[in-house]
Amino acid sequence: MAPELKTGFLLINKPTGITSYGCIGYLKRIIRQKIKIGHAGTLDPFASGLLIVAIGRQATRFMSQVMVLEKTYTATAKLGELTDTLDYTGTVISSCDSVLITEKTLLNSLVSFGSSYEQTPPIYSALKHEGDPLYKLVRQKRMSEQELEDIAEKKRKVVQLYQLQLISFDAPFFTIKACVSHGTYIRSLVNDIAVRAESCATTYALERSAIGQFTLEQAIPLAHINNIEDINSKLILVENINL
């Protein structure tokens, strides 16, 4: 007889190359029970790091509270190159001068953002327009790129920057650490940093290391989950969830 599945939060270290929804599908194939399951905060397929999965109805009730927690990321980007998706999986649409950019230039750019700024989301995003995510409208070519950019522009919003730090600079690549509010697009932030330094940038690596008090160090690699016992052993039980 299969062990009883407990209810709570499972912290997963998502690998690159799989969607957040794909992680849920992987877990469902292991669980094989009719149970409510969901995640808080989508990671792009090329990104890795912390993904919080709620297992059971009691746990999923906390999802709205988890979604709005601040998130911490480390991102590495390449200056002088811009793709349509703002990450390396896209098509290069522009080249920008980056020869004169120094570490000081980037530091000045980061400082200029202060504790918040108004951000325009990328058109390759899960933001919805009339029920459909923008990335779907882009790929289906149901609207022109200009129309989609106009929609994204109307969805501009102020995002909070609790920490914005330059970790390294080895031209043309630079790495930042950012702790930000819910709804902040790191791909957009990376390019906005470059734009203020009079260039452009594409994100090449992105890792989420924390969501509120939950950290990547607490997470289990997806590949290490092979049965219900693995899930139960790493589950943060509902009675121990303190938000």
Contacts of 70 (CB under 8 A, 6+ apart): 160, 162, 179, 180, 181, 182, 211, 212
- Residue pair 48/15 in contact by the 8 Å Cβ criterion: yes
Question: Which are the catalytic amino acids?
Answer: 44
Amino acid identity of residue 81, one-letter, is: E
- Residue pair 196/174 in contact by the 8 Å Cβ criterion: no
Indicate the SS3 state at residue 224: helix
Element (H, E) at 46: none
- Give the closest residue to 159 by CA, choosing from 175, 177, 182: 182
Rounded CA-CA distance 183/190 in Å is 15
- Give the closest residue to 181 by CA, choosing from 119, 107, 243, 110: 119
Contacts of 90 (CB under 8 A, 6+ apart): 83, 84, 124, 202
- Give the closest residue to 138 by CA, choosing from 203, 83, 82, 78: 83
